[in-house]
Amino acid sequence: MVNKTVLNKLSSRELENYFNPENRFVHEAVQLAFEILQKRGRIFSDAEKINIQHLIQSKKETEAAEKREKAEDWKDHITNDQNAIQLFPREIILIISIFLGTIPGCILLGLNFIKLKKFGASILTFVFGFAFFPLQNFLVPFMYENSSKRFYTLKNTPEFFVSCLGALAIFLFWISFTPKNLPYRKESYFIPVGISFVMIVLILINPKEWFSNHFVQSFMREYNTFF
């Protein structure tokens, strides 16, 4: 957002710099500089006006292209091209991470990074997945104790809130370490289903109450209370 008040405080000579094709100002700033100078009595020749309008249009197109490029960076580029690498889909990883925790989500993402030969990212992802588990067991009771301070607001379920935080971190790992705009084919769901099944069994058995602060356990407690 261009601040017109700031530009009004600049000298006419400083505003003239906005018409330099090499400048990094956005097109709105160039347009404002042009209007301010006109109000100050600066007379532009027809050639100067044409050059300024070309500059503004060029900057508009460049800025729009940059926005489209950034938007592409956040998209999931699934393809049917048989030559593309096979990876576990981002959507599946995030769904599993939200409902079953960071451990299965990070295992799947870490396997993706191994396929991509991103071994450092793979190790970091595996470590985060398992390290977040004890952090979750700390955060959930802490948030219950501080519920009067409205530390969270999601139907009194900090378990789900913390699960979403973990999934968000996994999403950022994907964005940070997966090559941008990489087309890939969906890997078989056999491994995700198998890992999910094992995780569900562990959560339901809840050995040594390790999973007492898990979202699924919270849902089951609420369900039992309701009925």
pTM: 0.68
Q: Domain for residue 37, yes or no? A: yes
What mean pLDDT is predicted for residues 106-130? 95
pLDDT at 152: 44
What span, in angstroms and rounded, lies between the C-alpha atoms of 102 and 214? 11
pLDDT at 153: 46
Residue 126, CA distances (Å) to 76, 108, 186 in order: 22, 9, 21
Q: Domain for residue 186, yes or no? A: yes
Structural domain including 182 reads: 85-226
Secondary structure (3-state) at 186 = strand
pLDDT digits (tens, 9 = 90+) for 161-216: 888 899 999 999 999 999 988 899 999 999 999 999 998 888 888 877 777 666 66
For residue 185, the 8-state DSSP code is E
Secondary structure (3-state) at 85 = strand
- Does one domain contain both 90 and 202? yes
Q: How far is CA 112 from the centre of its chain?
A: 18
User: Which residue among 74, 105, 129 closes a domain?
Assistant: 74
User: Which residue among 74, 97, 118 closes a domain?
Assistant: 74
Highest mean pLDDT among 6-20, 54-68, 90-104, 157-171: 90-104
- Does one domain contain both 110 and 167? yes
- Does one domain contain both 105 and 68? no
pLDDT at 142: 78
* Segment among 83-87, 129-133, 215-219 with least mean pLDDT: 215-219
Q: Domain for residue 14, yes or no? A: yes
Q: Domain for residue 171, yes or no? A: yes
- The structural domain count of the chain equals 2
Average pLDDT, the chain: 84
